Amino acid sequence: MNKFLGYLIVLAISLAAPLFIYPVFLMKLLCFALFASAFNLILGYGGLLSFGHAAFFGGAAYISGHALKVWGLPTELGILVGALSAGVLGLAIGTLAIRRQGIYFAMITLAMAQMAYFVFISSPFTGGENGLQGVPRGMALGMIDLTNDRSMYYFVLAICLAGFLLIARAVHSPFGQVLSAIRDNEDRARSLGYDIERYKLLAFVLSATLAGLAGATKTVVFQLASLTDAHWHMSGEVVLMTLLGGLGTIAGPAVGAGIIVTLQNYLASGPLAAWVPVVLGVIFVACVLSFRRGVVGELREFLRRSF
Amino acid sequence: MLTDLLGFPPQVLFGQLLLGLINGAFYAVLSLGLAVIFGLLNIVNFAHGALYMLGAFATLGLTQYLGIGYWGALIFAPLIVGAIGVGLERVLLRRLSGIDHLYGLLLTFGLALVIEGTFVKLFGASGIPYPTPEALQGGVNLGFMFLPFYRGWVVVASLAVCVATWYLFERTKIGAYLRAGTENPRLLQAFGVNVPLLTTLAYGYGVALAAFAGVLAAPITQVNPLMGSNLIIVVFAVVVIGGMGSIMGAVVTGLSMGVIEGLTKVFWPEASSTVIFVVMAIVLVLRPAGLFGKPA
């Protein structure tokens, strides 16, 4: 009952938010919250550190941008095409990466994402350094004009909520439980008869698809897909968001994304603009050294100890 | 004169082969440093590229402010950066012993962001040229290609450092300790060896290797705050291909990947930036543990 009330409050806040806060900023926040939550599925629940999620985020951004701008697909379909192509890319990279564990997994995903990055740079359809600009927002369901920021916000909110619900459902399903079991003790899960490679791969593909959904939605919001989306700095940022918010918690990645995006926005207009990577790096180091449970994880621990 | 080989003038072919060998030499030295660090700390040093860049900047700084030229920098820059590495290990990395290895990767990733971000802010993202040392200017015409002395020197010096590292690890007392520390640190400590000190030294040595590569690179690639940031990802792929098990494995894999990359530049230039990743994918399919790795 308490949880239900919590969800209701979050829903009410997100419905009312564009009345008080600039909608484009909120949409950016939502997209990154979905991106980080998708990433958390593989790192927090699967225990696999992917350092290549920018490839899915950026890849879907390009594909859906191309689908909307050049093929002229309806907005929903364009986003879907982007997300699904990220899933296919995830299947390819995941199949290779799950052949190794631990740090090798991280290095392989990083290397494969870098390869995708080079492909994006040299493919003519991505617009190279300029990016893919002027992607039309179009109409939602053929009738709601998305050029209006506020309508666009509710469209994005609907997509991201669907994504969050899917993630929460996956985590609490038997599939999610097996995934956590594999994370905690791979050999034991294997001895219980689970085909752990298939579980890992499925989790990876699901995570990649949802990361792609976030990337594709972001393209529609900003009407732009660029190399920044696919660069390995982006892979690092999503790791940081998840870690800062709390690994393996449902709300953590969204909180982490909120903090980082707000911080970036705040710093970008101040004298510290050029220091953003340094600030992120310092937060990274501080998190790893003394804050490994993340904001939500620490909060949960604090509540458990005091009550 | 040699006639064209496979339709390519030999100048082009051997020129790219030499460039490939040079890149391969950098891959070898950097992946060797990663392997040394991984052996004792169980950490993949994401800051390796940033420390390589620090080596190049140390060279620049030594020349500009202390009047120490290239040859002095070849010794002092690795020492300085190695000392920085020792500091990093003592203050930061040490606290991570005993927890999941992934946190080491994340911590060093953060360090790389801090170091590179600071240098971009201070020096801009464009390169600062560093002159080739006088003794190595010019080159010699070998008939089938022109060999600049400095490029030949880079390959020779890198190989010399790799061989020296191999000797240190396989033929000396301290190398025996280091190998024992890789194998079973607790048992080694029980024999009265100061393992924490050994770990610090290993990190310092791995980092010094990276800095040494940075000094060698300074006259070739210019000194650029981001010179290590894309390189390190390629080196990771090289490490996945070779496995971090053996010193010779790292050297052989590094050099051959450089050569493959160089040859790809001749035959299919568009693919040259991705070929090493493709090789990695193929190796993962055929031999998941890596060419020189032991199957888990």
**Does residue A271 form part of some domain?**
no
**Does residue A282 form part of some domain?**
no
The answer to whether A273 contacts chain B (CB < 8 Å) is: no
Residue B6 has a pLDDT of 62
Is pLDDT larger for residue A130 or for residue B157? B157
Give the closest-approach CA distance of A292 to chain B in angstroms. 9
**CB distance B111–A281 less than 8 Å?**
yes
When pLDDT is averaged across residues B129-141 and rounded to a whole number, the result is 84
| Residue A224 backbone dihedrals phi, psi, to 5 degrees | -150, 135
The answer to whether B252 contacts chain A (CB < 8 Å) is: no
**CB distance A276–B110 less than 8 Å?**
no
When pLDDT is averaged across residues B166-184 and rounded to a whole number, the result is 87
pLDDT digits (tens, 9 = 90+) for B43-80: 889 999 999 999 999 999 998 899 888 898 999 999 99
**Does residue B44 form part of some domain?**
yes
3-state secondary structure of A225: strand
DSSP state, A195? Answer: -
**Does residue A91 form part of some domain?**
yes
Range of the domain at A199: 21-232
Give the closest-approach CA distance of B2 to chain A in angstroms. 35
Is pLDDT at B162 greater than 60 in this prediction? yes
List the single residue in B44, B99, B113 with the smallest CB-CB distance to A277.
Answer: B113
The answer to whether A102 contacts chain B (CB < 8 Å) is: yes
> What is the total count of domains within chain A?
1
Give the closest-approach CA distance of B130 to chain A in angstroms. 26
**Does residue A192 form part of some domain?**
yes
**Does residue A280 form part of some domain?**
no
Residue B117 has a pLDDT of 92
- What is the H or E stretch that residue A266 is in? helix A252-268
Residue A277 has a pLDDT of 87
> What is the total count of domains within chain B?
1
CATH number of B51's domain: 1.10.3470
**Does residue B294 form part of some domain?**
no
* Beta carbons of B81 and B210 less than 8 angstroms apart: yes
**CB distance A111–B96 less than 8 Å?**
no
List CB contacts of A102: < 8 A, sequence separation 6 or more: B101, B102
pLDDT digits (tens, 9 = 90+) for B91-127: 998 888 878 888 888 999 999 999 999 999 899 888 8
- For B118, nearest residue in chain A (alpha carbons): A278
- What is the H or E stretch that residue A224 is in? strand A224-225
A179: exposed, middle or buried (Cβ count in 10 Å: 0-12, 13-18, 19+): buried
3-state secondary structure of A174: helix
**CB distance B118–A278 less than 8 Å?**
yes
- For B240, nearest residue in chain A (alpha carbons): A104
**Does residue B292 form part of some domain?**
no
Closest residue by Cα to residue B155 from B19, B15, B14, B54: B19
Within 20-39 of B, beta carbons closer than 8 Å to A belong to 38
Is pLDDT at B296 greater than 60 in this prediction? no
**Does residue A270 form part of some domain?**
no
**Using CA atoms, how far apart are residues B78 and B85, in angstroms rounded to an integer?**
10
- For B91, nearest residue in chain A (alpha carbons): A289
Q: Which amino acid is at A102?
A: G
**Using CA atoms, how far apart are residues A3 and A29, in angstroms rounded to an integer?**
23
**CB distance B285–A276 less than 8 Å?**
no
Residue B50 has a pLDDT of 95
List CB contacts of B273: < 8 A, sequence separation 6 or more: A118, A122
**Does residue A127 form part of some domain?**
yes
List the single residue in A106, A236, A278 with the smallest CB-CB distance to B114.
Answer: A278
Those residues of chain A that have pLDDT short of 70 are 1
3-state secondary structure of B139: strand
Is pLDDT larger for residue B144 or for residue B53? B53
- For B110, nearest residue in chain A (alpha carbons): A281
Distance of CA B220 to the CA centre of its chain: 15
Range of the domain at B227: 10-286
**Does residue B291 form part of some domain?**
no
Is pLDDT at B200 greater than 90 in this prediction? yes
Residue B295 has a pLDDT of 60
Residue B79 has a pLDDT of 95
Is pLDDT at B218 greater than 60 in this prediction? yes
**Does residue A52 form part of some domain?**
yes
Q: With bands split at pLDDT 50, 70 and 90, how would you rate the model's confidence at B1?
A: very low
